[in-house]
Amino acid sequence: MSKTLIRGAKVLGGAPQDVLIDGQTIAGVGTGLSAEGAEVVEADGKVLLPGLVDLHTHLREPGREDSETVLTGTRAAASGGYTAVFAMANTFPVADTAGVVEQVYRLGQQHGYCDVQPIGAVTIGLEGRKLAELGAMHESAAGVTVFSDDGKCVDDAVIMRRALEYVKAFGGVVAQHAQEPRLTEGAQMNEGVVSAELGLGGWPAVAEESIIARDVLLAEHVGSRVHICHLSTAGSVEIVRWAKSRGIQVTAEVTPHHLLLTDELVRSYNPVYKVNPPLRTERDVLALREALADGTIDIVATDHAPHPHEDKDCEWAAAAMGMVGLETALSVVQETMVETGLLDWAQVAERMSTKPAEIGRATGHGRPVSAGEPANLTLVDTAYRGAVDPAGFASRSRNTPYEGCELPGRVTHTWLRGKATLVDGKLT
């Protein structure tokens, strides 16, 4: 079995220590560990985190391999410091059967860059009418525990209630894409000052907030847990805060882009800023940061949504919604949460690894950096600062809103169960 010694790494941002990997596990953490028989990686003050876990990724395979595949998506994930990603169900065909989720799961294992944990659709074809075979997906080799119609809202209150109840039998969780469909017909961007001026269809905050309010109450009523995808408004934060104070089992995620960007950017009519939920206002951004800091929002999830160039190189209304995010997520979190003093690195690890692994029941991920644990690790050069160059992305798509933006932090190494998937910023 191969050994690797990571020398002088600030584990979770603490004092420099050595970390020895032996085979698939962490053999020891301490100072002055022997390098005998081990390959040495000089961390030189870089920060070592548990491998990141993304609860919200679109890998596009099967069906849209022109924008991303399991291979290119997991390479992008490894580049961004991730060791596990949850693949959303809105593929073609939809991941609403055991067959599809097993295929996606096996592709992830076969490629070996990052564990792929498929998310199953809540309803057949994401149509919101009939429950998909949730139990069969759970019992399949993929062992699905997270279910979501992401991209579409489970808007029928009865279907949502039943889904929340049903998955309790096997410890599952429903991840809701909160978007009241009638309030968002023809919606193109956040409804407010900017949409009024630009003449783009408004996407009101209440369309998100009303669904979240309903769903936390449903979760309370049936005693289930519910997860809120990509929460984007200050009002949503208030509702989740209230629900948690009542003891409702709700968890919530925020995307990196909602922590940094606002709807002012839409004035460029550049569809690279078109995303669902839409970019909101400065006030929302600040509320989301505060909520991520105080724990109201549990985790950061990328909503990595690759799209081919032609789907963004067009007029706003014709463009697809979504941004790639796996390769920039940690940098955006460092920029918005660490450099601002809102989170330290231990708290970043909790929000980008420990908690998402817990919510999705990803065993072996999000574990402490200590002896005996699986060696899923990420080494970050936090002193780095540079402009984002999409040409260097491992993702098949380039639809990033950060092109040319100067951001801090660069993942230099990623280990998946002791195997290096990224070395000195290069994929293995």
Q: Which of residues 175-194 bind other proteins (CB under 8 A)?
A: 188, 191-194
Say if CB 94 and CB 121 are below 8 A apart.
Answer: yes
* Residue 257 marked in a binding site: no
The DSSP code for 336 is: I
The answer to whether residue 308 forms part of the interface with other proteins (CB under 8 A) is no
3-class DSSP assignment, residue 202: strand
* Least gap, CB of 214 to other proteins (angstroms): 22
* Residue 138 marked in a binding site: no
* Residue 60 marked in a binding site: yes
Interacting span for other proteins (CB under 8 A) from 88-96, 133-141, 268-276, 357-365: 268-276
Specify the residue, 28 or 192, whose C-beta has the smaller distance to other proteins.
192
Phi, psi of 27 (to 5 degrees): -90, -30
Say if CB 91 and CB 62 are below 8 A apart.
Answer: yes
In angstroms, the Cα distances linking 415 to 7, 75, 118, 254, 408 are 15, 12, 21, 25, 21
First-to-final CA distance of the chain: 18
Interface residue with other proteins among 40, 169, 314, 346 (CB under 8 A) is 314
Specify the residue, 294 or 313, whose C-beta has the smaller distance to other proteins.
313
> What are residue 423's DSSP bridge partners?
426
Interface residue with other proteins among 42, 139, 197, 264 (CB under 8 A) is 197
Say if CB 104 and CB 59 are below 8 A apart.
Answer: yes
Say if CB 122 and CB 163 are below 8 A apart.
Answer: yes
* Residue 307 marked in a binding site: yes
Interface residue with other proteins among 2, 109, 110, 268 (CB under 8 A) is 268
- Concatenated DSSP letters for 37-95? TEEEEE-TTPEEEEPEEEEEE---TTT-TTT--HHHHHHHHHHTTEEEEEEPS-SSS-S
* Residue 365 marked in a binding site: no
Helix (H) or strand (E) holding 3: strand 3-11
* Residue 198 marked in a binding site: no
Specify the residue, 16 or 192, whose C-beta has the smaller distance to other proteins.
192
- Kindly state the number of chain residues that form the binding site for other proteins, as judged by CB under 8 A: 23
The answer to whether residue 317 forms part of the interface with other proteins (CB under 8 A) is yes
The answer to whether residue 424 forms part of the interface with other proteins (CB under 8 A) is no
**Cβ partners under 8 Å of residue 72, min gap 6:** 394, 395, 396
The answer to whether residue 316 forms part of the interface with other proteins (CB under 8 A) is yes
The answer to whether residue 195 forms part of the interface with other proteins (CB under 8 A) is yes
Say if CB 176 and CB 227 are below 8 A apart.
Answer: yes
**Axis crossing angle, helix 234-245 with helix 205-222, rounded to the nearest 10:** 10
Interface residue with other proteins among 15, 158, 199, 247 (CB under 8 A) is 199
* Residue 399 marked in a binding site: no
- Sheet strands (E) in 209-309: 226-228, 250-254, 299-300
* Least gap, CB of 319 to other proteins (angstroms): 9
Active site residue 303: yes
Of the residues 215, 284, 303, 381, which is catalytic?
Answer: 303
The answer to whether residue 209 forms part of the interface with other proteins (CB under 8 A) is no
Interacting span for other proteins (CB under 8 A) from 82-90, 264-272, 346-354, 370-378: 264-272
> What are residue 228's DSSP bridge partners?
176, 252
Select from 288, 310, 315, 287 the least CA-distant residue to 299: 288
The answer to whether residue 36 forms part of the interface with other proteins (CB under 8 A) is no
In angstroms, the Cα distances linking 340 to 13, 254, 260 are 15, 17, 12
Residue 122 CA to residue 187 CA, distance in Å, equals 24
* Least gap, CB of 316 to other proteins (angstroms): 5
The answer to whether residue 141 forms part of the interface with other proteins (CB under 8 A) is no
* Least gap, CB of 195 to other proteins (angstroms): 6
Specify the residue, 191 or 253, whose C-beta has the smaller distance to other proteins.
191
Interacting span for other proteins (CB under 8 A) from 91-99, 105-113, 283-291, 313-321: 313-321
* Residue 155 marked in a binding site: no
- Which stretches of the chain bind other proteins, using CB under 8 A? 188, 191-200, 202, 204, 268-270, 310, 313-318
As annotated, the binding site includes 56, 58-60, 90, 150, 177, 230, 276, 303, 307
As annotated, the binding site for Zn(2+) includes 56, 58, 150, 177, 230, 303
Residues acting as catalytic residues:
303
As annotated, the binding site for substrate includes 58-60, 90, 276, 307
